[in-house]
Structure 1
Amino acid sequence: MSGRISVDVAIIGGGLVGSSAALALRGMGFSVALLDKGFCGAQASGVNYGGVRRQGRPVEQLPLAARASAVWVRLRGLIGIDGEYQRSGHLKLAQTEADMSALEAYAETVAGYGLDLQLLSAGGLRQRFPWIGDGLAGASFCPSDGHANPRLVAAGFPAAARRAGVQVFEQTPVIGVTRQAEGFALETETGPSVRAGTVINAAGAWAAPFAASFGEALPLKRIYPSMIVTEPLPPLMDVNIGMEGGGIYARQVERGNCIVGGERGQALPDPDFSRPRSAGALAIMNRAAEIFPALKHAHAIRFWTGTEGATPDKNPIIGPSTTTPGLIHAFGFTGAGFQIAPGVGEVLADLVRDGRTQTPIHAFSPARFLARRAAASLATNGQAQDQQNDQKSEQREGFAS
């Protein structure tokens, strides 16, 4: 499709964040164009592990996670499918006593956020979940967390947005965005030119160049989470599982396959793509067999990786541009965006309609990096000035002697 269209809001990136924002904005009556360089939901949103968890998130993310939780429980009514969402609970394992102490401290910190965490001793863990191996120090259980199928959910949101009237353009790379008096002009490689009053930059691992084009050098690197799926097995895992400090995560779907993650893929010469590492896949399965003895002889039938954007502090970048009115950023979810994405979509819609949101997002402002950079620059300049003063002092002392 060529030509020109005009909409209230143009969204760059058709992942869960962009497509859920598009759906929420249509519900508010805005006209929306959703543009993706490939297929909507085909990147990190559709190839991640599928954990729908609040437990383990930084405290500043919990209000956003709570808002997203309210979306997950009404998923079928919102997008027409349940996405295989199961409110199974999330079990976070502790390998050592230090890990268990960290879980206890976290439970105390988040006591007022409605997670209702249940701390389990080593004996309590063994009694309640006998299919987990020996040698663990304990665990923390969040009964209201769960998991879902990212391939279904990531396709379900843009499909629902399209049915609601969003103009969806796939295989339509945005090659330029400029600010104009009346809004923004977006030029695409294969589709129409778009005029919009507001632009949402939800381009995932590809979002930083759009920010940089408006004078915001926001830090973003690429990571490649890697997953393995086993052959169908008898019912085993009835909860979504993670590990304090990382290392492994696992869940079992209704048809019996176990999905296991915890390693990173290897980037290809084109950093848009990656491949699983054979050594990493073997390490994941060996680690899983130690913790879940029933997986000792399981066959791994599929491996995959995805491309995700990551920030230095592991918190996403969400909020208005620091340089350009009408531009809103939402990217850098660092491998933990699946659960909060529907909540982020609603927050973005709030920002477009009201210029603010009741969900606290100050910690995710792009301004935080600019402030840190300025502080680092002042520190560097101060050190340089101190060195100059020292040199002058040494020179004066030399003249005096």
Structure 2
Amino acid sequence: MKVFDLAIIGGGLAGCSTALHARKKGASVILLERGRCGGQASGVNYGGVRQQGRHPAELPLARRSRGIWGNLYALVGCDCEFIATGHLKLARNDGDMVDLVAHQAIAADHGITIELFDRADLRRRFPYIGDRFYGASLCAEDGQANPRLAAPAFARAARQLGAQVQEECPVEHAVLSPFGFEIHVTGQDTPIRAHRLVNTAGAWGANVAGWFGDSVREEVMAPNMCVTEPIAPLIGPNLGICGGGIYIRQASGHGSIIFGSGVGTADRDALRARPLAAVTMDAAKAAIDMVPALANVLVVRSWTGIEGRMSDNLPVVGPSPTVPNLYHAFGFSGHGFQLGPAVGAVLAELAIDGGSPTCLAGLSMTRFAGVPDPAATSPPANKVQPKGKGNDTDEK
């Protein structure tokens, strides 16, 4: 009877990275993905690879992940179109500039260099930026990648090392067993058995956690994304704004502008999500306000996907607080793409080595301990509708 060292539920970037790093440690691994690897949030996001602007609790992961992004070809045989274009965060007022200065100091504590620009410096260095901004901060080593390529590349590399990656393989349920865990898959009479279990099930992560009594509330969101026709080189670094809102990058290969703002609709149970025309129009206006030269550029497509969101906009990453050998990573709240490679490396370390040098303080599920579950008094969380301006997702 086959018992794997490690089973993984969910084939997003974090799950595929976990499979790869666990195999590199010699563990026997099986990854179970309901659809295709990278088919949900990991493959339909903006593609930003940024450290700047993150909550301090995410910075150790972000820092480690940046090192992996920079060495991606050697790790997975593909650079996933990663390029360090930089990330420019724009200030709308003096208060935003104060926040940028404060974040510069926090980032420096983690070895991240951020350069500040006042209004005159911003206009001189980036003349295509709209003139209403007070200044900005630039993290030059941040950048962008193609989200369509990343999770599949990690899955391929894991397979090449001997991991079993099963796509189109819906998991119905998982339970504790004398071996560790039994995972019941649709259409398979015999459960999959593993000594350890990693839950990287994305917007369905809280459901998986609930099978083992780890109760936490996870909402869903559907970041509204757009892409334009190709244009001549215009925008250098990724562009974001203090407090969230519009975010813009220019693809390094074909020259299209990729931007996003606001949310579409998502139904977690039906596995459906769609962008909204009104939200796309508002995003286009915000993009023109940020970069006026985009006024006559044609939008050719909009899209969205299903993403999990925690109440504090921070992911759950780390061991189960109640079940030995169970590990969670979900609820990335619209900014998990950059973190994914490091999340997988850390989960593999936790599961196989029993610990990780990367700090996860502030990301444990235990931070919600003692907080009443709003599901008892709130509508079901499987459906979300846009709430208009202000309900913006951050860049990845």
Shift, 1:268, TM fit: 4.8
Q: Which residue of structure 2 aligns with residue 365 of structure 1? A: 364
Tell me whether 1:24 sits opposite 2:18 in the alignment.
no
Q: Give, as a single letter, the amino acid of the residue that structure 2 aligns with 1:200.
A: V
Query: What SS does the corresponding residue of 2:58 show, helix, strand or coil?
Result: helix
Structure 2 unaligned segments of length 5 or more: list them.
Answer: 374-396
303-312 or 362-371, which deviates more: 362-371
Shift, 1:41, TM fit: 0.6
Q: Which residue of structure 1 aligns with residue 338 of structure 2? A: 339
- Taking the aligned partners of 2:350 and 2:85, their CA distance within structure 1 comes to 33
Shift, 1:109, TM fit: 2.9
Q: Which residue of structure 2 aligns with residue 233 of structure 1? A: 231
Tell me whether 1:60 sits opposite 2:47 in the alignment.
no
Q: Give, as a single letter, the amino acid of the residue that structure 2 aligns with 1:179.
A: L
**Structure 1 contact 262–284 (Cα < 8 Å) conserved:** yes
After TM superposition, the score normalised by the length of structure 2 is 0.91
Choose the corresponding residue for 1:164, options 147, 161, 169.
161
Shift, 1:5, TM fit: 4.4
Query: What SS does the corresponding residue of 1:222 show, helix, strand or coil?
Result: strand
**Structure 2 contact 220–266 (Cα < 8 Å) conserved:** no
Tell me whether 1:257 sits opposite 2:259 in the alignment.
no
* Change in 2 beyond 3 A, CA 1:268/1:343: closer
Q: Give, as a single letter, the amino acid of the residue that structure 1 aligns with 2:18.
A: A
Query: What SS does the corresponding residue of 2:149 show, helix, strand or coil?
Result: helix
- Taking the aligned partners of 2:298 and 2:270, their CA distance within structure 1 comes to 30
**Structure 1 contact 265–277 (Cα < 8 Å) conserved:** yes
- Taking the aligned partners of 1:131 and 1:12, their CA distance within structure 2 comes to 44
**Structure 2 contact 52–107 (Cα < 8 Å) conserved:** no
- Provide the identity percentage: 45
For residues 231-261 of structure 1, the C-alpha deviation after alignment (integer angstroms, 9 at most, x for no partner) is 0001011111111011110100121100001
Tell me whether 1:44 sits opposite 2:35 in the alignment.
no
Q: Which has the larger radius of gyration?
A: 1
Q: Which residue of structure 1 aligns with residue 349 of structure 2? A: 350
Q: Which residue of structure 2 aligns with residue 394 of structure 1? A: none
Shift, 1:323, TM fit: 1.8
- Taking the aligned partners of 2:107 and 2:83, their CA distance within structure 1 comes to 23
Query: What SS does the corresponding residue of 1:319 show, helix, strand or coil?
Result: strand
Which structure's residues are more often helix, by fraction? 1
- Taking the aligned partners of 1:22 and 1:268, their CA distance within structure 2 comes to 28
Q: Which residue of structure 1 aligns with residue 376 of structure 2? A: none
Q: Any residues of structure 2 matched to 1:5-154 within 5 Å, and which?
A: 5-154=2-151
Structure 1 segments of 4+ aligned residues over 6 angstroms from their partners = none
Q: Give, as a single letter, the amino acid of the residue that structure 2 aligns with 1:220.
A: E
**Structure 1 contact 171–190 (Cα < 8 Å) conserved:** no
Tell me whether 1:180 sits opposite 2:170 in the alignment.
no
Q: Give, as a single letter, the amino acid of the residue that structure 1 aligns with 2:249.
A: R
**Structure 1 contact 46–155 (Cα < 8 Å) conserved:** no
For residues 62-108 of structure 1, the C-alpha deviation after alignment (integer angstroms, 9 at most, x for no partner) is 11111111100110111111111011110001112221221122212
**Structure 1 contact 5–193 (Cα < 8 Å) conserved:** no
**Structure 2 contact 203–268 (Cα < 8 Å) conserved:** no
Query: What SS does the corresponding residue of 2:5 show, helix, strand or coil?
Result: strand
Q: How many residues align?
A: 371
Q: Give, as a single letter, the amino acid of the residue that structure 1 aligns with 2:27.
A: F
* Change in 2 beyond 3 A, CA 1:269/1:215: closer
362-371 or 171-180, which deviates more: 362-371
Q: What RMSD in Å do the two structures reach over aligned CA positions?
A: 1.4
Q: Which residue of structure 1 aligns with residue 194 of structure 2? A: 196
Query: What SS does the corresponding residue of 1:363 show, helix, strand or coil?
Result: coil
Q: Which residue of structure 1 aligns with residue 310 of structure 2? A: 311
Q: Give, as a single letter, the amino acid of the residue that structure 2 aligns with 1:82.
A: D
Shift, 1:362, TM fit: 2.6
Q: Give, as a single letter, the amino acid of the residue that structure 2 aligns with 1:361.
A: L
For residues 185-222 of structure 1, the C-alpha deviation after alignment (integer angstroms, 9 at most, x for no partner) is 11100346211000001100011111111111112110
Q: Give, as a single letter, the amino acid of the residue that structure 2 aligns with 1:87.
A: A
- Taking the aligned partners of 1:41 and 1:209, their CA distance within structure 2 comes to 19
Shift, 1:10, TM fit: 0.4
- Taking the aligned partners of 2:233 and 2:101, their CA distance within structure 1 comes to 30
Q: Give, as a single letter, the amino acid of the residue that structure 1 aligns with 2:109.
A: G
Shift, 1:357, TM fit: 1.1
Query: What SS does the corresponding residue of 1:301 show, helix, strand or coil?
Result: strand
Q: Which residue of structure 2 aligns with residue 399 of structure 1? A: none
**Structure 1 contact 204–332 (Cα < 8 Å) conserved:** yes
For residues 137-164 of structure 1, the C-alpha deviation after alignment (integer angstroms, 9 at most, x for no partner) is 1000001110100001122111111111
- Taking the aligned partners of 2:53 and 2:360, their CA distance within structure 1 comes to 18
* Change in 2 beyond 3 A, CA 1:269/1:39: closer
